[in-house]
């Protein structure tokens, strides 16, 4: 009986992993697009990365990924910023990017728990950080992107490495934070982008939040008028943060408050009972580490965002 149970468990494990989409298919096919949140100081918008063509580097066929930032700068200027190209090369289950004269592993989809790989700095020339880093595979799971199931890899820095990924890594999508490694110790200003909003190609579509369109930029009127409808204070904050709403034709009330860290990760969510008509809320943020946070407030009159500094 024990042998039969073990055999059944073994078969179930095989069936489970058989559902993973193996990476014989191309990662970043031409036309693939990624959209990342962008929110820095008085600028908001998104970063779009698109695979535009093939090219040859060091006798290898690479994908050219073009990066563009679309942003609105308070108080009233829309513009685009070219962020250059990335050059991606796939070899089996490993994805490499070409940096500073050589290829470095970007993602290793064959990695198992405990594995370590070396990543390159994405923009080390602008900082005092090391030019490479190491990531450690902490755990592995699955993520469904209809109609297939993909491997998801959770990583952390290895031996206090500066360069890490700002979220888990999914086979088809890449990192659910920004595509490239980010600096966790000496540069928290993500000049290129935050968390992944959307991914699309000819076969798959992923959207992190159905309420946020892929190419959404807060409108000029919304940002200029925001201060009439929401106050977040004090800023910087040490202990207690106050959020106060005013009316916008009708009584404005809270539905939900979310707090995101500088890596675009949701760290706290407060959901309000619709029967309770709160328009002022005070909560303690003393336990948060010092740094920059994004406060997203869902109300009966719309969604508002504020960046705060925690001392």
Neighbouring-strand partners of residue 269? 258
Query: What's the domain range around 257?
Result: 220-310
Domain final residue, candidates 157, 182, 207: 207
pLDDT of residue 117: 95
| Nearest-angstrom CA–CA distance, 167 and 183 | 13
Q: Element (H or E) spanning 275, and its range? A: none
pLDDT at 13: 43
What's the pLDDT at 131?
78
- The per-residue pLDDT for range 24-46, each reduced to its tens digit, is 468 999 999 999 988 776 677 88
CB neighbour list of residue 44: distance below 8 Å, 6 or more residues apart: 38, 71, 72, 217, 218, 223, 305
- What pLDDT does 3 receive? 60
One-letter-per-residue 3-state SS of 148-203: EEEEEEEEEECCCCCEECCCCEECCCEECCCCCCEECCCCCCCCCCCCEEEEECCC
State CA 77 to chain mean position distance. Answer: 25
Q: What CATH number is associated with residue 267?
A: 2.60.40.730
Q: Are residues 105 and 246 in the same domain?
A: no
What tens digit of pLDDT does each residue of 83-109 get? 999 999 999 999 999 988 899 999 999
- Give the count of domains, the chain: 2
Residues of the chain with confidence (pLDDT) below 50: 9-24, 187-189, 219-225, 248-249
Contact 158, 188 (CB under 8 A): no
Neighbours of 162 (CB within 10 A): 22
Tokens of 30: 């031409």
Q: Which residue has the tokens 């959404």?
A: 216
Whether residue 186 is found in the same domain as residue 273: no
Bridge partner residues of 190 (DSSP) = none
The reply to whether 281 and 189 lie within a common domain is no
Query: Residue 17: what pLDDT?
Result: 44
Shared domain for 178 and 81, answered yes or no, is yes
């Amino acid at each position: 009986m024990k042998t039969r149970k073990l055999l059944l468990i073994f078969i179930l494990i095989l069936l489970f992993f058989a559902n993973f989409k193996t990476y014989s298919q191309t990662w970043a096919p031409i036309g693939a697009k990624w959209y990342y949140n962008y929110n820095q100081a008085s600028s908001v918008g998104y970063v779009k990365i698109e695979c535009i063509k093939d090219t040859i580097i060091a006798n290898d066929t690479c994908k050219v990924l073009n990066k563009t930032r679309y942003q609105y700068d308070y108080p009233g200027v829309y513009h685009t910023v070219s962020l250059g190209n990335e050059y991606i090369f796939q070899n089996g289950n490993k994805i490499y990017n070409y940096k500073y004269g050589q290829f470095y592993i970007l993602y290793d989809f064959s990695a198992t728990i405990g594995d370590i790989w070396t990543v390159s700095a994405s923009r080390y020339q602008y900082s005092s950080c090391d030019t490479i880093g190491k990531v450690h595979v902490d755990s592995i799971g699955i993520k469904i992107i209809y109609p297939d199931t993909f491997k998801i890899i959770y990583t952390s820095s290895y031996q206090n490495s500066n360069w890490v990924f700002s979220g888990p890594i999914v086979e088809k999508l890449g990192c659910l934070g920004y595509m490239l490694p980010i600096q966790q110790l000496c540069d928290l200003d993500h000049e290129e982008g935050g968390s992944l909003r959307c991914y699309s190609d000819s076969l798959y579509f992923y959207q992190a939040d159905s309420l946020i369109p892929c190419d959404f930029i807060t409108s000029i009127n919304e940002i200029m008028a925001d201060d009439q409808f929401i106050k977040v204070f004090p800023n910087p904050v040490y202990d207690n943060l106050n959020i106060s709403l005013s009316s916008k034709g009708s009584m404005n009330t809270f539905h939900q408050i979310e707090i995101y860290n500088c890596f675009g990760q949701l760290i706290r969510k407060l959901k309000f009972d619709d029967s309770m008509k709160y328009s002022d809320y005070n909560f303690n943020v003393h336990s948060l580490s010092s740094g920059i946070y994004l406060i997203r407030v869902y109300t009966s009159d719309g969604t508002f965002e504020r960046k705060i500094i925690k001392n």
